[in-house]
Amino acid sequence: MATKIQDRVKETIPQNFENQTASENNSGITPWKEFFTDPNLVNLIDEALKNNQELMITLQQIEIAKSDVMYKNGKLSPTVAAKLGAGIEKVGRYTSTGAGDASTEITDGKEVPENLGNFEGGLVANWEVDIWHKLRTEKQAAVAHYLSTVEGKNFVLSSLIAEVADNYYELLSLDNQLDIIHQYMDLQKKALEVAKIQKQAMAATELAVKKFEAELAKSNATEYDLKQQITEKENQINALLGRYPQTIVRTKESFMSIVPQTVYTGIPSQLLANRPDIKQAELELQSAKLDVEAARKEFYPSLEINAALGLEAFNPSYLVKMPESIAYSLVGELAGPLINKSAIQAQFKSADARQIQALYEYDKTILSAYLDITNQMSAIKNLDKYYEMKSQEVQALDQGIDIANQLFRNMRADYLEVLMNQRDALDAKMELIEAKERQLSTVVNIYKSLGGGWK
């Protein structure tokens, strides 16, 4: 007996997301070309949708599932084949067949030859009558699996768009970090020049000069590290686009002024219709249930009808003699398992276990989607505040750098104060850029989590 399953996760899904006002406005239904407005990013996504290898693999999975549906549908109809055959046979004289042939004349005065040929041609048919709808159930299971592969393709589309956008924003972030390093190096070079002048004037020591030289060397090392990260990030995007390494066209100057999209989450129940991975899991659950039903029907008897119609003779010249050479047969068989049903029982238990497994996968997908959106909506609020505070910190530290440099020139501050102010400002600016990238990436991830991108 099949396990009765109950989907408690789907039945108890909350009415709205945590700390969110219930609203049917949902950014997940916005087409991706309207959601992403950067023309360079739009072009990259367009190319990825045409050339991405993972997407191409998924499309072939759809073709495989479609062929399986055609195969299951074909089993519902009779199988008809054309048949041609030729052979020769000699039976023992002292057998019932041999003795009968020896005393039989094919025509007057012509005995049956000792080496008896057999030539035949015609049509043969076989049909398993679907009296319990087992074959129809198998076809329905195949259709559900096919539809799940279509939703799987949609999920790959959604994930691919989000991945391209996420990597694009990370690349812009690295570009801006490299610019900040260059600005920082210019400051350090100026501070180093001042330190050398002060040393000559006996107002500073060799230690101050070496400290500024070391800091400049450290920034040079960071510069090369960022350049390597930029190269790898560009190639990561190129891989998603299915092409060999080349420069990613982008405009880095406006990165810090990008305002993240306002995202509307809608209500949780919309996830069941919007998210391809949830729909895929639901269809796989439906397919698994049908597999259980089909496996249960294996215990029932099956009805097979076999038929043949054609011409048969021991000599090819007799094939044209009608109606003597006409041969036909019609056989119906009703057979069912009586003993040793262990193989069928094992198949049934396996299908039942896969059904329960599919339910857990479905529930896990729904729960993960809800928690993911809740976490990311909270992240957006906190990142907005974080970005605001970091902006104030950067502004204050920039002012501090100017003051420290002025005091250092006038020999009213030592080199450590200048270094510490420059380092703090650099760290704060790097963190501000990373905060901007996290803001944009979080919006991208929420858009994907809401089921956006594949429509």
Nearest CA-CA partner of 409 in 187, 189, 183, 198: 198
* Domain match, 210 and 323 both: no
pLDDT at 64 over 80: yes
One domain for residues 364 and 442: yes
Same domain, 54 and 120: no
As a whole number, mean pLDDT of residues 48-58 equals 95
* Residue where the block lists tokens 């005065």: 109
pLDDT of residue 111: 78
DSSP 8-state symbol, 235: H
Position 109 pLDDT exceeds 90: no
Whole-number pLDDT of residue 128: 92
From 399, 418, 419, 398, select the one nearest 410 (Cα to Cα).
418
Q: What is the pLDDT of residue 70?
A: 95
Residue given tokens 């399953």 in the structure block: 5
- Token representation of residue 453: 């991108």
Strand partners of residue 119: 86, 313
pLDDT digits (tens, 9 = 90+) for 256-305: 999 998 899 999 999 999 999 999 999 999 999 999 999 999 999 999 99
Question: SS3 of 92, please?
Answer: coil
Residue 7 per-residue DSSP state: -
Domain end, chosen from 335, 355, 389, is at: 335
Least confident of 2-6, 39-43, 180-184: 2-6
Asked which of 282, 315, 335 is the last residue of a domain, the reply is 335
Tell which wins on pLDDT, 50 or 205.
50
422 and 374, same structural domain? Answer: yes
Task: Note whether 422 and 400 are within 8 A (CB).
Answer: no
My answer on whether 38 and 186 are in the same domain is yes
* Res. 449: pLDDT tops 70: yes
Same domain, 249 and 158: yes
For residues 222 and 285, membership in a common domain is answered with: yes
Return mean pLDDT, the chain: 90
Residues 163 and 261 in one domain: yes
Is residue 91 exposed (0-12), middle (13-18) or buried (19+ Cβ within 10 Å)? middle
pLDDT for position 455: 78
Identify whether residues 61 and 84 lie together within a single domain. no
Average pLDDT over residues 433-455: 94
374 and 426 inside one domain: yes
Can you list the alpha helix ranges (DSSP code H) found in 75-205? 96-102, 134-200
Percent of the chain with pLDDT over 90: 65
Residue 8 lies in a domain: no
Residue 47 φ/ψ, nearest 5 degrees? -70, -40
Residue 272 resides in a domain = yes
CATH at 113: 2.20.200.10
20 part of a folded domain = no
Residues in contact with 178: Cβ distance below 8 Å, sequence separation at least 6, in sequence order: 223, 226, 227, 230
CATH number for 59 = 1.20.1600.10
| Helix 342-409 with 134-200: angle, nearest 10 deg | 20
Residue 82 tokens read as 């054309």
In a domain, 10, yes or no: no
Q: Helices (DSSP H) in 81-133: which residue ranges?
A: 96-102
- 330 and 213 housed in the same domain: no
Q: Is residue 417 part of a domain?
A: yes
In this prediction the pTM is 0.86
- Our count of domains for the chain comes to 2
223 in any annotated domain: yes
Contact 84, 196 (CB under 8 A): no
Mark whether 351 and 377 lie in a shared domain. yes
259 in any annotated domain:
yes
pLDDT of residue 444: 96
The HSE-up count of residue 53 (CA atoms within 13 Å, CB side) is 7
Q: Which domain holds residue 96?
A: 79-129+303-335
In a 10 Å sphere around its CB, with 0-12 CB exposed, 13-18 middle and 19+ buried, how is residue 351 labelled?
buried
Does residue 17 fall inside a structural domain?
A: no
pLDDT at 106: 73
pLDDT, tens digit (0-9, with 9 covering 90-100), for 147-163: 999 999 999 999 999 99
